[in-house]
Amino acid sequence: MKNENVNVVSEEVLSNNWYTLRKYTFDYQRADGKWERQSREAYDRGNGATILLYNIEQQTAILTRQFRLPTYTNGNETGMLIEACAGLLDKDNAEDCIKRETEEETGFKIRSVKKIFEAYMSPGSVTEILYFFIAEYSADMKINDGGGCETEQENIEVLEIPFAKAVEMIGTGEIKDAKTMLLIQYAQINGLFKA
C-alpha cells in the first residue's frame, strides 16, 4: 500500500558500518493540501524478537543483564541494563529467532512460544519492528548456562527474578528497558502471575 501523500525524492546512505543509516528527502502533503519538503534520517538495524520466560509455579521470570553502550553514553552510570531476552531476526522468522536467542542467551531450550504482539519501538528514527513472545520455562529445559554468543562479544548474565520483584523494579527504575516493561506489564494484565 502506498501513501499518496508521500513522495520520496532521494535516499542517501550515511553509514553502512554496524547497521545502515540513511537520509531521506521527501515531499509530504499536509492536511491543508500544501506540499512541503522534509528530510529525515532512519537507522535500519533489521527486525527483532523478544520474549518473557515465566514460571507460574515458582512465580518467577528469566531476564538478562548486559552492558549497553548507548545507555552508558546517555547517563546510565554502569551501562548495565536488565532486559528480556531478545535478538535480531537475521534471516530467520520471528519464532525461530526467539527460540535460538533464548537458548544462546539464557540456556533454556523452550518447547513452544506464543506471539502476543509486535511494535515499533522508536519509530521516529529506527525502522525495526519487534515481535513480542512469551513462553513458560522449567528447570528441565535448562541445557547450558547461557550468556550469549561469544563470537558476537556477548557477555550476558542470566537472572531468575520473582515476578513481584520484577514489577517493583520497574517502579524503582532498576528496569528501564521498554520491551521488558511491556512484557512484564502484559504478564501482569493477563494474569500470568499472582498479584
Is the Cβ–Cβ distance between 42 and 26 less than 8 Å?
no
Segment-wise mean pLDDT, segments of 10 residues, the chain, 195 residues:
91 93 96 96 95 96 95 93 95 93 95 96 95 97 82 82 96 97 96 80
Q: Say how many domains are in the chain.
A: 2
Which pLDDT belongs to residue 90? 85
Residues 19 and 83 in one domain: no
Which pLDDT belongs to residue 7? 95
Phi-psi region of 186 (alpha: psi -120 to 50; beta: other; left: phi over 0): alpha
Rounded distance, CA 180 to CA 167, Å? 10
Is the Cβ–Cβ distance between 100 and 92 less than 8 Å?
yes
For residue 159, the cross-strand partners are 63
Which pLDDT belongs to residue 75? 93
CATH number for the domain spanning 183: value is 3.90.79.10
Tens of pLDDT, residue by residue over 133-183, are 999 999 999 998 887 766 666 789 999 999 999 999 999 999 999 999 999
Residues 122 and 63 in one domain: yes
Residues 29 and 124 in one domain: no
Domain annotation covers residue 165: yes
Residues 85 and 172 in one domain: yes
Domain annotation covers residue 185: yes
> What value, to the nearest 5°, has the Cα angle with vertex 144 and ends 54 and 116?
30
Residues 75 and 32 in one domain: no
Domain range for 29? 6-44
